[in-house]
Chain A
């Protein structure tokens, strides 16, 4: 008997009688203003959020935030002029010196400020972690109230990898002191288009 067969046989012999799944496992969250809720939570977790009317406003803010920054890449055609390199590389190690990645997020969650991205937005999976600074552009119209709503819209296996990102990478492993910029991006800026 293989280990697989042994384990599965033991489980079958020992598991209790079938219990049904609960009828209620999704809940409705109501926020008076989804955009405000998203921004409040993102700010709380150390991110920066800005409501902007158009790409020109994003460009202006990025130029002010990161003047003369080199090694900038984006997947957004409207902001292509800000980039001096690409994230579309065959070996993810080529992104080791990436300073700024500007990507889009198709769905964002108001209750916890998590933004979903998968390989439709990411030329390389490691891009949003390996970059020094991360920018995600979302549309207010794609904000959903909570995680249940997000999973209703998402198909998590459309691509081989997807992740919810909520704020910049951080740690509190040294005496519970919050430090932003652990291994992933040192900052996250989210622009909210209409």
Chain B
């Protein structure tokens, strides 16, 4: 099964073939969502914090140019080299060049969804550079040659027996081992050796501070710190929307981030990098890759407020029952479905339809992105641009023709009622997508119109 080559609906069908596993996936993510609820309920000012975060981010979007210029100037004064990448290719080429300049062919990397978006690992591997992901979940999926299925919990689609098998193959752990403690210890030993021997380390960026020219990286494992503090060259890759005006605004975001993500009060490490350590080089790559285009779309620019907590994934009834890989995009779930069409409208036209529009995503979002409204608006844009799913387009057109003509509507109604009463097999078969998950309704003997006309006579 390869969910990645299918559209969302077909991939979801694949995922749902193993029902106990879907139930487990659903329950596991719901458990994370309930942890988020408990953590949020502990702060009486939770809703005010969300509002403050949302307003700070609104300001950031409206002042992006000046904040980035200010950040660059201060970062340079701090001794950080600043690079700008217009797209994924340029981002990858800059990082490749920095690795070459360091005279090495290996790099250790901590979690960065941006590098997933840019397919950095593939690019570097093609150019003879070995990349090792150091976040445990990312390392697991990397060994399995899979992309992460979740932005915070990259291996959430796997059971411990899957991880045990993968580690047996790649790390030589005992066959059949499933104890998470034992498996984590094996990864710790393997990655410790990696941290100690790599001269170049790449990290993501959670927040970049315009006022001080520094950036913050949050992890629970300590892997970003282990990589960066032991390397001669630290490269940090950031989408330009990660900027915030001042350090004191971190108070708002760090109180929201981990609570929204996993229900923790804060991540184990919230590391603030401002200057390279003596003898070290520090680089920051600021990436656009379609973000400035999204900034120009009034209906969709709010998606750039995202702080990548994944609360919208955990709460989404569609994500929980279709799995991250069904979204065939670096960022899955509701937020990914409003970011992806900006990157490639045609390729990702199915994603805004992968939602019930229930609005739960918008309700848990710590920066108040109107996610479900944007999903709905993307559908309008995609249909108008001609990227709508073929069957849906044809059905909608037929429906429109029928609804436009009163006489056609009456005839269609009569046929429909007749078919359901006398030859139900014509509607109740696998070629009718509506029937796949539903019972067909009991047909009435006559239409409301006929009933009205008949009763008026009396």
CB-CB under 8 A from B86, the residues of chain A are 3, 6-7
B184 at the interface (CB under 8 A from A): yes
Cross-chain contact A129 with B269 (CB below 8 angstroms): yes
A171 interface residue (CB < 8 Å to B): yes
- By secondary structure, the A interface counts as loop
A11-B65, A41-B265, A147-B254 known; A161 vs B271 contact (CB < 8 Å): yes
Most buried by A among B140, B229, B252, B295: B229
Within 8 Å of chain A (Cβ to Cβ): is B214? yes
Structural contact, B262 and A11, CB atoms closer than 8 A: no
With A and B bound together, what is the CA distance between A152 and B251 in angstroms?
9
Q: Which residues of A contact B65 (CB under 8 A)?
A: 8, 11-12, 15
> Which residues from chain B contact A169 at a C-beta distance below 8 Å?
220-222, 268-269
8 Å CB contact of A8 from B69, B183, B274, B301: B69
Given contacts A126-B229, A156-B209, contact A21 B84 (CB under 8 A): no
B273: A residues at CB distance < 8 A: 160-161
B195 part of interface (Cβ distance < 8 Å)? yes
Closest to A168 in B: B268
Pair B270/A164 contact, Cβ less than 8 Å: yes
A125 and B225: CB pair below 8 A?
yes
Q: Would you call B159 and A175 a contact (CB within 8 A)? A: yes
- Residues of A near B28 (CB, < 8 A) are 175-176
> Could you tell me if B267 and A15 are in contact, using CB atoms closer than 8 angstroms?
no
Q: Mark A95-137, 1 if CB is under 8 A from B, else 0.
A: 0100000000000000111100010000011100110000000
**Partner of B296 from A13, A25, A160, A185 at Cβ < 8 Å:** A13
Interface hit among B45-53, B423-431, B437-445: B45-53
State whether A15 touches B209 (Cβ < 8 A).
no
Partner of A27, one of B48, B158, B196: B48
Interchain CB contact under 8 A, A7 and B292: yes
Task: Collect the chain A residues with CB atoms within 8 Å of residue B370's CB.
Answer: none
Task: State whether the Cβ of B175 lies closer than 8 Å to any Cβ in chain A.
Answer: no
Q: A22-B51, A126-B225 are in contact. Are A151 and B247 (CB under 8 A)?
A: yes
Q: A18-B63, A156-B247, A173-B154 are in contact. Are A184 and B31 (CB under 8 A)?
A: no
Q: A64 interface residue, CB < 8 Å from B?
A: no
Cα A143 to Cα B87 in complex, Å, equals 45
The chain B residue with its CB closest to the CB of A173 is: B137
B58 contacts partner chain A, Cβ-Cβ < 8 Å: yes
Which B residues lie within 8 Å of A183 (CB)? Answer: 134, 188, 191-192, 195, 221-223, 226
| In the assembled complex, A170 has its CB within 8 A of some CB on chain B | yes
Chain B positions within 8 Å of A33 at CB level: none
Query: Are B180 and A157 closer than 8 Å at their CB atoms?
Result: no
- Establish whether residues A21 and B298, one from each chain, have CB atoms under 8 Å apart when the complex forms: no
Cα–Cα distance between A119 and B363 once the two chains are bound (Å): 40
**In the complex, per-residue mask of A78-106: 1 if CB is within 8 Å of any chain B CB, else 0:** 00000000000000110010000000000
Q: A114-B270, A156-B209, A160-B276 are in contact. Are A24 and B295 (CB under 8 A)?
A: no
| A contact residues, total (Cβ < 8 Å) | 74
**Is B343 on the interface with A (CB-CB < 8 A)?**
no
CB B379 to nearest CB in A, in angstroms, measures 23
Inter-chain contacts of B68 with A (CB < 8 A) = 8, 11
Cross-chain contact A11 with B295 (CB below 8 angstroms): yes
Interface assignment of A65: CB less than 8 Å from any CB of chain B? no
Quick check: is A68 within 8 A (CB to CB) of the other chain? no
In the complex the two chains form, what is the Cα distance from A14 to B136 in whole Å?
38
Contact assessment for A163 and B270 in the assembled complex, using a CB-CB cutoff below 8 Å: yes
Min Cβ gap B86→A in Å is: 4
Determine if B181 is an interface residue (Cβ-Cβ < 8 Å).
Answer: yes
In the complex, whether A166 has a CB less than 8 A from a CB of chain B is yes
User: Is B346 an interface residue, CB under 8 A from the partner?
Assistant: no
Contact assessment for A112 and B265 in the assembled complex, using a CB-CB cutoff below 8 Å: yes
User: Inside 8 A of B249's CB, which chain A residues have their CB?
Assistant: 25
Tell me, in angstroms, the Cα distance from A167 to B220 when the chains sit together: 9
CB contacts (< 8 Å) of B281 on chain A: these are: none
**Does the CB pair A19–B58 fall under 8 Å?**
yes
Task: Find chain B residues with CB under 8 A from A129 CB.
Answer: 222, 225-226, 229, 269
Is B56 close to A, CB under 8 A? yes
B155 to chain A, nearest CB (A): 6
Q: Do B64 and A182 touch across chains, with their CB atoms under 8 A apart?
A: no
CB distance from A161 to the nearest CB of B (A): 6
Bound: A85/B249 CA distance, A:
39
Instruction: Note all chain B residues with C-beta closer than 8 A to A112.
Output: 255, 265-266
Assess the A21–B245 pair: CB atoms within 8 A: yes
Alpha-carbon separation in the docked complex, A159 to B269 (Å): 17
**Could you say which residues of chain A place their CB within 8 Å of the CB of B292?**
7, 10-11, 14
Give Cα A10–Cα B184 distance, bound, in whole angstroms: 45
B168 within 8 A of A: no
B144: Cβ under 8 A from any A Cβ: no
Let me know if B45 and A10 touch, CB within 8 A.
Answer: no
The answer to whether A166 touches B265 (Cβ under 8 A) is yes
> Can you pick out 5 interface pairs between chain A and chain B where the beta carbons lie within 8 Å of each other?
A11-B292, A21-B56, A157-B272, A161-B229, A174-B184
User: Beyond A7-B86, A8-B68, A111-B255: 20 further Cβ-contacts under 8 Å?
Assistant: A17-B62, A18-B62, A24-B52, A25-B251, A27-B49, A112-B255, A114-B265, A125-B225, A129-B225, A129-B269, A147-B266, A148-B248, A151-B251, A157-B212, A160-B276, A163-B270, A170-B221, A173-B154, A174-B180, A176-B156
Identify the 10 closest CB pairs spanning chains A and B, nearest first. A184-B222, A14-B296, A160-B275, A112-B265, A173-B137, A126-B229, A182-B221, A10-B292, A22-B55, A4-B84
Binding site for A on B (CB under 8 A): 28, 31-32, 43, 45, 48-49, 51-52, 55-56, 58-59, 61-65, 68-69, 78, 84-86, 90, 134-137, 140, 153-156, 158-160, 163, 180-181, 183-185, 188, 191-192, 195-196, 209, 212-214, 220-223, 225-226, 229-230, 240, 245, 247-252, 254-255, 262, 264-277, 286, 288, 292-293, 295-296, 298, 301
